[in-house]
Structure formats: C-alpha cells, structure tokens
Copies of this chain bind each other. A is one copy, B any other.
Amino acid sequence: MLRVGLLGAGRIGQVHAKNIHLDARSTLVAVSDFVPDAAGALAGRYDAAVRTTEEIIADDTIDAVLIATSTDTHADLIEKAAAAGKAVLCEKPIDLSLERALACQAATRDAKRPIMLGFNRRFDPNFKALKAGFDAGEIGKGELLAVTSFDPAPPPPSYVKVSGGLFRDMAIHDFDVACWIFGAVPERVSAVGASLVDPEIGALGDVDTAVTTLHFADGRIAVIKNSRRAAYGYDQRVELLGSEGLLAVGNVNETTVARALAAGVIGARPEHFFLERYARAYVAEWSGFVAAALGEAEVPVSVTDGVNALAIAEAAAASVKSGAAVAVTG
C-alpha cells in the first residue's frame, strides 16, 4: 500500500485525490494547500490529514507525493521531495523556464525513487491503442504525425499571464505525444501563431492559434494544430501516416446518440474538456505511477520527457518570433 501526500487541493488535485482513494494499492494520508479550507475539505472527504507541504515531505511514513500546486513551485517541490526519498508524480510542466527544468533534471538524476511527469495523453486508452498498433507494425514505418488539439474556450487573461504561453502551457502535451509516439526528440521546430480568438491574449504577447511543425532527424514530420477555442468542445485527435496505412484517434463523444432531423444528422459533441475527456487517463496514470513507485515497472513519463517537451515549446515560441526553424536544445 502506497501512502500518499497530496500537495495542492485545486481542481486537478481533487481528481487525483479521488483516484488515489479508489486505487486498491494507494491511500491518501495527507493534503496540503495554501488555502487551508481547500485542503481541509478535500482531506475530510477521504479521511486524510491536513498538513503543511513541509510536514508532508518530512514525514517518513509517507511514500509518495503528488504535486498539483501552481507551476512556479513544481521544480522546487520535485527537488525537495526527491531529496527526502519520496516517489513523485508532478503535474506538467516542470517549470516555465527550460534552464530551471534542466537544473531540476540534474538535481534529481540520482533520486532513489521514481519521479514521474503527469502527461495524461499517454494513459488515454485511445492514444495508447494508437501507440500499440503503431509499435506492433500495423502501419509500417511512421512518416507524418498530425495532432489536433483545441480547447473549448480560452482561459481568462489572468491565467494566460502566468501560463508561460500557449506552447509551454497547452501545446506541451502535444509535443510530448509526438516524442512518445515517434520515440524521438525532434531536431528542429518551426511554428506560426496568431491571436485570433481573444485580442487580450495577443496584447499579453501570447498567441491563441498556432501550427507547430517538428522535424525529426530521420525526416519524419509531426504537425500540431492548436487553438484556444472550439465552439463544439474539446477537440483531441491524432493521425499517424505510415508506409502501410494510417492510424487515427477520434474524439470521445458525450454519447453515441445521433439525431436525424430535417437539418441533418446530428451526432454528440466531444467530451467538453480535459477533466471529462481524460477521466479514464487520470485513473490509469495514477495506477502507472503506483506500479513504478512500488518498483514493479519503469516510470512511464520521466523528468527527461518533461524537459524535452519544454525544449520544444521554447523552440516553437522562438520560431514564431523569428520566422525560421529553431533547433531543439534539451
């Protein structure tokens, strides 16, 4: 039984708390949050204690911590928890600064227990089935990967301001998907972006619509389309063209109901946003972490994976500015 401390009781912390509770091999023992009431409410739901982050990290009876705090605290907490001998599952990204992420990578290189990044797509049953089919040779050699990744609605400017921008905040998931599927890190990145959805996002120096192209050393190409807005909901699709066919992940829809009316045949919308779309992925992500923390399996997403995705994001942001392809330096 893995004894777990949860750092951060916000929206995603609540998802993880439930999954920790439901997993037969883990138990939630403590919760911290800089808003004590939030920690209290969540801890109460699962018979856990409210503690400070420091107390949780210092507690030798706690095996693992799940870091679901704000991004600017991730790297510090990873380092502290690793130093205290904890297994760590940290929400992406490691940090908004590639330099800081690299330092964190260096500092935790010799950690005794697994450190895992929370890239949820890797645990989605559909993405996993595409990856498995590809690895099994169903479409031969991979050539051209295309990711569509649109959010249902843009975040408020206050969020955009601290988000690190579309590439570090949102596209980073898709960059990780590309690296994971191709089993490689691209050499160069070219990107184009614009603020078409919300002028305030543009005023903050960010983009809300972007296309990023990843050039792999052996010629393979990945292209990622991002938008902060899709009126019909969360659009999360992947297509991989190979020498012998194409594998595609379609959206997960709210229902399988179709309405045939005079206006056309109306199918359901995709699941609205990531909490619904990736609900099953969060369960599998946690169980993958538990297996790694218990020493039964390799850690499925490493700090290096987090560094690589961030390096691509940094290159993409630079490419939008320069108009030229930018080398990825991870």
Contact = CB atoms under 8 A, between A and B. Distances in A.
Nearest to A229: B243
A111 interface: no
Nearest to A257: B129
A248 B257 contact: yes
Given A144-B209, A256-B251, A219 B196 contact: yes
Contact of A241 (B213, B230, B239): B230
Contact of A220 (B196, B220, B239, B325): B196
Interface residues of A, number: 71
A78 interface: no
A259 B146 contact: no
A97 to B, nearest CB: 26
Interface string A214-257: 01000111010101011110010001010111111111111111
B194 A262 contact: no
Given A190-B192, A196-B219, A219-B209, A259 B231 contact: no
Contacts of A196: 141, 143-144, 219-220, 243
A264 interface: yes
A22 interface: yes
Contacts of A230: 241, 245-246, 260
Contacts of A219: 194-196, 209
A131 B6 CA distance: 41
A188 interface: yes
A38 interface: no
Contact of A265 (B223, B249, B268): B268
Interface of A: 22, 125-126, 129-130, 133, 138-141, 143-144, 146, 148, 150, 188, 190, 192-197, 209-211, 213, 215, 219-221, 223, 225, 227, 229-232, 235, 239, 241, 243-269, 323-325
20 contacts: A126-B256, A138-B259, A139-B259, A140-B231, A143-B209, A190-B325, A193-B221, A209-B221, A225-B241, A230-B241, A232-B261, A232-B264, A245-B262, A247-B258, A248-B259, A249-B256, A250-B257, A252-B256, A259-B264, A264-B267
